[in-house]
């Protein structure tokens, strides 16, 4: 795995801001639906079992209230992912707006396979956890 920096193009900043805006709007809509009591999970409605991402909305609300342990108890994998994405966003924003650079991660095919295996294993362990702790 290699990290390298490259100069950011102005069109790239616009694209990243548009992507961030779209992600924010979708997240707010999903949280609003959750707060309104709408159950969006088709898997849960059909099987009665939690899906791999069950509890993500509640965990996000706990993170917004800075209740990290409660968020982790509800949905461990996605809580770590949300915190990681937040740190990544702050880090890349600093590099992009202050230094006018982006950090590019280059990974080999073998590293990509290892990463995919680790992520799939973590998702499976997270699902087993949700199956065991969900009422």
Query: What does each C-alpha distance from 67 to 24, 70, 73, 135 come to in angstroms?
Result: 21, 6, 10, 21
Q: Which of 2, 11, 27, 13 is nearest to 102 (CA)?
A: 13
Domain count, the chain: 1
Identify the pLDDT of residue 135. 59
Assess whether pLDDT exceeds 70 at residue 62: yes
17: domain range?
2-133
Return the top range by mean pLDDT from 50-64, 66-80, 83-97, 98-112.
66-80
Cα–chain center distance at 14:
22
Main-chain phi, psi angles of 123, to 5 degrees = -65, -40
Per the confidence metrics, is the pTM higher than 0.85? no
Cα–chain center distance at 75:
12
């Amino acid at each position: 795995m290699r990290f390298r920096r490259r100069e950011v193009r102005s069109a790239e900043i616009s694209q990243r801001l548009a992507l961030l805006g779209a992600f924010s709007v979708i997240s707010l809509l999903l949280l609003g639906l959750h707060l309104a009591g709408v159950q969006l999970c088709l898997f849960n409605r059909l099987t009665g079992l939690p899906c791999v991402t069950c509890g993500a909305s509640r965990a996000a609300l706990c993170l917004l209230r800075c209740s990290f342990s409660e968020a982790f108890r509800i949905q461990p994998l996605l809580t770590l992912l949300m915190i990681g994405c937040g740190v990544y966003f702050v880090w890349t924003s600093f590099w992009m707006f202050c230094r006018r650079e982006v950090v590019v991660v280059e990974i080999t095919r073998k590293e990509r396979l290892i990463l995919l295996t680790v992520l799939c294993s973590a998702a499976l362990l997270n699902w087993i956890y949700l199956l065991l702790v969900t009422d």
